[in-house]
Amino acid sequence: EQAEKDGYAHYMEKEIYEQPRALRNTMTGRIDEAGQKVVFPDLQLPAETIRSIEKIYIVACGTAYHAGLIGKHVIESLARIPVEVDVASEFRYRRPLFGPNTLTIAVSQSGETADTLAAMREAKRNGSVVLAITNVVGSSIAREADEVITTNAGPEIAVASTKAYTSQLIAFYLWGMYLAQEKAALAPAEIASLIQSLQQLPGQVEDILAHAQQLRQFAEAIKDERHLFFIGRGIDHAVSMEGSLKLKEISYIHSEAYAAGELKHGTLALIEEGTRVVALSTQDALHEKMISNITEVKARGANVLGITHEDHVDLHRSVDDVCLIPKTDALFTPVLAVIPLQLIAYYTSVVLGNDVDRPRNLAKSVTVE
Ligand code: G6P
């Protein structure tokens, strides 16, 4: 087993560091040689069907569900098709509405999650075309779906998912861009520029990983906390949810992810002297709003770690510590912003002496409903 970990202390650490390669592999073969277009050589769906999609459901569980939340932002923003994201275990029981041109996307690392499989069967029963985004070729979900986008992240062993999540994000970016391209919702030059930014992501992840030690210090500082908050707006809120889940899964410290603008409607009551808050601010259009939300928690005594990109070093003035990530397109920030959050969860679990790769009560793949 030690040999399989390749010199890393845990599978999770190894998988965090494998992300640049996983992202590159997920892009491979899906961008034309000139870097101008997204291509899906294996896709059978007629162009006509793609152009007629009017509504999209995304169904998934756990981390894959969090990838789906980002997928909604991406598809709605790029292709202007309305998207609903459902926790797979809830989907069947709420009598979802299907039109003649509904696409359902099932997201699953393992391709074996019973709830996701059941949700996708429900979609098929209702006449929806099903696209699977999965990491395991030949899995149940891959076999039953009409179309498959394989994330080529390689085997993921640690229960807490890392490289599968960021690879799922890449799959959503490619799919969102592909829909936009086929529907002519974006100009060719806009697609080409997005592709250029997308291709820079693996190198940018490497840059963040080179400074991982800063997060180890943060983990030391929070290891005795009873609870923590992750706040962000828009796409940052969705990333916060994944950061919070990671921390809960392997450190057993309770945390909540909150839409930063919603704090004042209740949760602000929980902020007291010394409460730890991780605040994400990667969206230029929302940065000022985030600063005022941070000021609200600071005024109640919170100790804030801000995560932002290089253009917003001014965040220093409003928080206790800053973690900088490289700049990318607004839609692509989750791939970068989640890396420090994965490292915080990982190091916290390590300093607490927990079983990082096999957290209590959890399984890598849940094949019961
Ligand atoms: C389990 C794992 C989670 C995972 C979820 C969905 O609960 O512990 O890490 O996100 O299943 O798994 P899937 O294989 O469908 O992505």
CA of 118 to the centre of ligand 1 (A): 15
d(CA 325, CA 217): 17
Give the 3-state secondary structure of residue 85.
strand
114 lines ligand 1 (CB under 6 A): no
The predicted complex's ipTM stands at 0.98
362 lines ligand 1 (CB under 6 A): yes
Active site residues: 364
Across-strand partners of 307?
A: 280, 323
Q: Please indicate whether residue 366, judged by its CB atom, sits closer than 6 Å to ligand 1.
A: yes
How confident is residue 110, by pLDDT bands cut at 50, 70 and 90? very high
8 A C-beta contact, residue 306 and residue 318: yes
Q: What is the pLDDT of residues 256-278, one digit of tens each?
A: 999 999 999 999 999 999 999 99
**Is 63 a pocket residue for ligand 1 (Cβ < 6 Å)?**
yes
Residue range 229-257, pLDDT digits in tens: 999 999 999 999 999 999 999 999 999 99
Could you give the CA distance from residue 42 to residue 148 in angstroms, rounded to a whole number? 9
The pLDDT of 295-310, averaged and rounded, is 96
Distance 116 CA to ligand 1 centre (A): 10
Q: Which atom of ligand 1 is nearest to the CA of 141?
A: 15
How does DSSP assign 112-163, residue by residue?
Answer: --HHHHHHHHHHHHTT-EEEEEESSTT-HHHHHSSEEEE-------SSS-SH
Q: Tokens at residue 153, please?
A: 């992240």
